[in-house]
Amino acid sequence: MLLHKILLPVLAPLLLLQGKLVRARTPHLPEAEGARQGQAGSERTRPASGKELRVLILGDSAAAGVGCDTQQQAVTGQWVAQLSQTTPVSWQLVAKSSLTCAQVLTLLKETQLTESRFDVVLVSVGVNDVTRRTSTSQWQADLEAMSRYLNEHLGVSRILYTALPPMHKFPALPQPLRWILGQRAKLLNQYLAQHCQRHNYTHYLNFEVPYEAQFIAADGYHPSTAAAELWARTAAEAYSEENK
């Protein structure tokens, strides 16, 4: 991490140029089409309590389904489909491209929610904090604000924080920009993992995505449908394991 801090001022002009070229050349993919709230599952899976599992998906472009054609193919649809195999699910997606962690929380506060309380939330934030160089102190404060709001205002008892992807492997990014952003992503991941260790209602959701063509969207940046399926399966398994 020290090397990356030393090299950053030296490489700044080149990194700025590379960033502009990436934005100009990278295909701009839309958010996935489809409903952003609904119910899933059948009465036969309803637990003895009679309650539905109230699920919220929250975050940035990855959560919004960029890289997938429909929400059914994206992480929201695939996660809800897996959860609803064992219990009825009431779900809502609150996500928008290009938002930082702080901006995602603002979006949440401004959104009319289908439920006053949620049981579990899957969060995807951090990549835009890397590209916009959110300071580590601000990143930690933003995570604290996010967790506190979800837990205290929405009654969430389980928050699944998705680890930042390995940006040092993103094929859309040229070197040395790829390496610099990758080091920054690793640093924010360390703080995210520490945050989850401090709060027993949070979980650090870290999983390996094979960097093969089938797992990467056409822009070389976002998760494809295959990657979304792996993400959703990991989230479903994590929630199931913690609720045994």
Kindly report, residue by residue over 101-138, the tens digit of the pLDDT: 999 999 999 999 999 999 999 999 999 999 999 999 99
| Sign of torsion over alpha carbons 107, 113, 119, 124 | negative
Q: Summarize pLDDT for 47-80 with one digit per residue, the tens.
A: 555 689 999 999 999 999 999 999 999 999 999 9
Q: What span, in angstroms and rounded, lies between the C-alpha atoms of 118 and 54?
A: 5
The span from the CA of 102 to the CA of 98, in Å, is 12
Bridging pattern class, strands 89-95 and 37-40: antiparallel
Q: Kindly state the percentage of the chain with pLDDT values over 90.
A: 72
Beta bridge partners of 39: 90
Q: Do residues 80 and 36 lie in contact, with contact meaning Cβ atoms separated by under 8 Å? A: no
The answer regarding whether domain 2-25+38-242 maps to CATH 3.30.70.20 reads no
DSSP state of 114: S
pLDDT digits (tens, 9 = 90+) for 166-180: 998 887 787 777 888
pTM, rounded to two decimals? 0.91
> Which residue in the block uniquely carries the two structure tokens 């009319």?
112
Q: Which two tokens stand for residue 42?
A: 């059948």
Mean pLDDT within 28-32: 95
What pLDDT sits at residue 244?
A: 62
